[in-house]
A = this chain, B = another copy of it.
Amino acid sequence: MKLQDATWQDVEGFRRDCVVLIPTGSLEQHGPHLPLFTDSLIVTAVAEAVEARLTESVILIPTLWLGASGHHLRFPGSLSSDFDSYMGEIQSCVESLLPHGFHKFYILNGHGGNREPNGIAARRLKEAHLQATIGQSAYFDFVKTVISDTLEGPLKEMRHACEAETSLMLYLHPDLVRTGKLRDDGLASDPAVAGMVHHFDEITEQGSYGYATLATAEKGERIFDAAVKQVTQEIDRVANGYFLRGL
């Protein structure tokens, strides 16, 4: 069920062990070639495809599109929520539905910068509602191997406006990709250091990180289909229950 199109009576009649699916995106710079809404567009497409496959066991809410993007703010057009408001919106969605008996929630993320606040929001919810079932992950975390296998450039994982993300956009929204502006970009520390907090105006020249020039719609389709398949399996398992067994 897409919540936005339902009436309250539709929701009243829905099964209570369904999974409320909460997509989180961003509106932030994605280099010279991708639109600001890239993350929101991709995660929405994944979430809608999952809902289409599991329409009886999913309540899909609209994408929370305003992400935590402080590291992109030096590029004009990027919008970033303060962390507290961002987390508060996720918690508000969950706590609006809990009193009506819905008790399974999954935050499906499409933007790396949301990872930490999604984690804290989910933990706060679990601590406050011990009996609730709460999960959260990014769509691209479900398909790390597929991404690694698909990409041709030396970076074998999802980065930012990279070969993978550009491919997904070429598949899903080719009209929004400025193909004339594709370029490889990104700086690495030398010697290597780990865990440094760098903003994208420090580690890129024009905002993207990776090998966008290698992107193709075919790669995007392959990653997208795999993500939909894996997320669908996950949500189905959460909806239908799983056991905790000894290691």
Contact = CB atoms under 8 A, between A and B. Distances in A.
Interface string A88-125: 11011100110110000010000000011101101111
The complex is assembled from copies of this chain, and their number is: 6
Contacts of A234: 193-195
Given A73-B96, A96-B78, A207-B8, A137 B88 contact: no
A85 interface: yes
B70 A123 contact: yes
Nearest to A155: B247
B123 A120 contact: no
A35 B71 contact: no
A5 B187 CA distance: 26
A52 interface: no
A66 to B, nearest CB: 6
Nearest to A207: B8
A171 B99 CA distance: 34
A187 B244 contact: yes
Nearest to A69: B96
A189 B244 contact: yes
Given A3-B77, A207-B8, A193 B92 contact: no
A65 interface: yes
Q: Which of A6, A87, A176 has the most CB of B within 10 A?
A: A6
Interface of A: 3-12, 27, 29-37, 40, 61-62, 64-66, 68, 70-71, 73, 75-89, 91-93, 96-97, 99-100, 106, 115-117, 119-120, 122-127, 130, 133-137, 141-142, 154-155, 176, 178, 181, 184-199, 202-203, 207, 210, 234, 237-238, 242-247
